[in-house]
């Protein structure tokens, strides 16, 4: 873990060290969320603004993925003579929409050929699934070229958590809104973070209930599997069990306090 000496002579935890620890307990999901909150994640920028004097210049672009096609498109508008070379029998690179009849053959001797047998009208994006709103460059090309877009709903705040079984806990057989669960979990976590960040409360000990809530939050927020769950629970040596985690490591309904509808 990366540490530096603070002005007071103590050891200060750096961002890198904090992210390393986050990655150990919660995987890439928590690391990326933390980096995005600090504006450390690389963001897709606006469309490129190119200039130049073609004068009969010829350009060869290797690869017909989104980047290669964008470069060829922009250079072509400036008057360059552009040729795009692609090894596959299709364009798009990792962006590939699978529809009925699409095929893929594995490389190498005796490579297996797979055929998409979807019903008509169904499709699956085998590469990127969505365009985040901050990808203004790509969205700009979609608008300019008339590429139709569909709304991608990541999650529905009005959906329900519902589990049955005696081992679930007090929420067994009860419908709980997603927004209520998230409000409770975020509230618990903010309370814990406040204890850690508030310099006057650094020595306030975490109670057993605090630790249980935090473990439950990390497991649910990071979609951890059984191995990650076991490592996480073990790291809290005073925690003997984590509510909301079944023996096989599957996700269950988290603890919840009463919330306004």
Residue 49: inside a domain, yes or no? no
Asked if pLDDT for residue 150 goes beyond 60, the answer is yes
Is 194 in the same domain as 233? yes
Residue 52: inside a domain, yes or no? no
Is 244 in the same domain as 198? yes
Task: Tell me the two tokens of residue 29.
Answer: 């999901």
Residue 93 confidence (pLDDT): 92
Asked if pLDDT for residue 43 goes beyond 90, the answer is no
Residue 32: inside a domain, yes or no? yes
Give the whole-angstrom CA distance, residue 1 versus residue 18: 8
Q: Which of 90, 114, 145 is the last residue of a domain?
A: 145
Residues 9-24 have a mean pLDDT of 72
Is 111 in the same domain as 173? no
Asked if pLDDT for residue 83 goes beyond 50, the answer is yes
Residues 201-228 have a mean pLDDT of 64
**Confidence band for 196, pLDDT divided at 50, 70 and 90:** low
CATH number at residue 75: 3.50.50.60
DSSP sequence for the chain? --EEE-TTSSEEEPHHHHHHHHHHHHHHHHHHHHHHHTT-S-------------TT-EEEEE--BHHHHHHHHHHHHHT-EEEEE-SSSSSBTT--EE-TT-EEE-SSTTPPEEE--PPTT--EESS-----TT-HHHHHHHHHHT----------TT-EE---SGGG-TTTT--EEHHHHHHHHHHHHHHHHHHHH-GGGTTPPPPHHHHHHHHHHHHHHTT--HHHHHHHHHHSTT-S--TTB-TT--B-PPP------
Q: Which of 88, 122, 145 is the last residue of a domain?
A: 145
Is 98 in the same domain as 194? no
Mean pLDDT computed over every residue of the chain: 75
- Give the structural domain span for 239: 160-261
Q: Compare 46 and 135 and report the one with higher pLDDT.
A: 135
**Confidence band for 56, pLDDT divided at 50, 70 and 90:** confident
- pLDDT, tens digit, 9 for 90 and up, residues 106-115: 888 888 999 9
pTM higher than the cut 0.85: no
Is 241 in the same domain as 200? yes
Asked if pLDDT for residue 210 goes beyond 60, the answer is yes
Is 80 in the same domain as 139? yes
Phi then psi dihedrals of residue 68, to 5 deg: -60, -40
Residue 212 confidence (pLDDT): 72
Asked if pLDDT for residue 199 goes beyond 80, the answer is no
Q: Which of 193, 191, 177 is nearest to 258 (CA)?
A: 177
CA-based end-to-end distance of the chain: 43
Contact (Cβ atoms closer than 8 angstroms) between residue 261 and residue 176: no
Residue 125: inside a domain, yes or no? yes
Residue 13: inside a domain, yes or no? yes
């Amino acid at each position: 873990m990366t540490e530096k000496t603070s002005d007071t002579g103590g050891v200060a935890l750096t961002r890198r060290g904090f992210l390393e620890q986050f990655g150990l307990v919660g995987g890439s999901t928590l690391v990326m969320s933390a980096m995005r909150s600090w504006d450390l994640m690389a963001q897709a920028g606006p469309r490129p603004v190119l200039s130049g004097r073609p004068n009969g210049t010829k350009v060869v672009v290797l690869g017909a993925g989104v980047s290669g096609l964008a470069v060829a498109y922009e250079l072509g508008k400036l008057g360059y003579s552009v040729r795009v070379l692609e090894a596959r029998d299709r364009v798009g690179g990792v962006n590939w929409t699978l529809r009925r009849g699409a095929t893929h053959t594995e490389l190498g001797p005796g490579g297996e050929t797979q055929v998409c047998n979807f019903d008509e009208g169904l499709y699956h994006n085998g590469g990127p699934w969505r365009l985040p709103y901050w990808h203004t460059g790509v969205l700009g090309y979609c608008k300019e070229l008339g590429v139709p877009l569909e709304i991608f709903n990541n999650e529905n705040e009005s959906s329900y958590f519902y589990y049955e079984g005696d081992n679930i806990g007090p929420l067994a057989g009860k419908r709980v809104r997603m927004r209520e669960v998230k409000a409770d979990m975020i509230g618990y976590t903010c309370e814990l973070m406040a204890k850690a960040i508030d310099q006057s409360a650094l020595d306030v000990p975490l109670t057993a209930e605090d630790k249980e809530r935090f473990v439950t939050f990390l497991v649910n927020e990071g979609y951890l599997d059984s191995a990650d769950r076991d490592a996480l629970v073990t790291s809290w040596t005073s925690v003997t069990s984590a509510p909301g985690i079944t023996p096989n490591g599957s996700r269950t309904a988290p603890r919840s306090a009463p919330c306004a509808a």
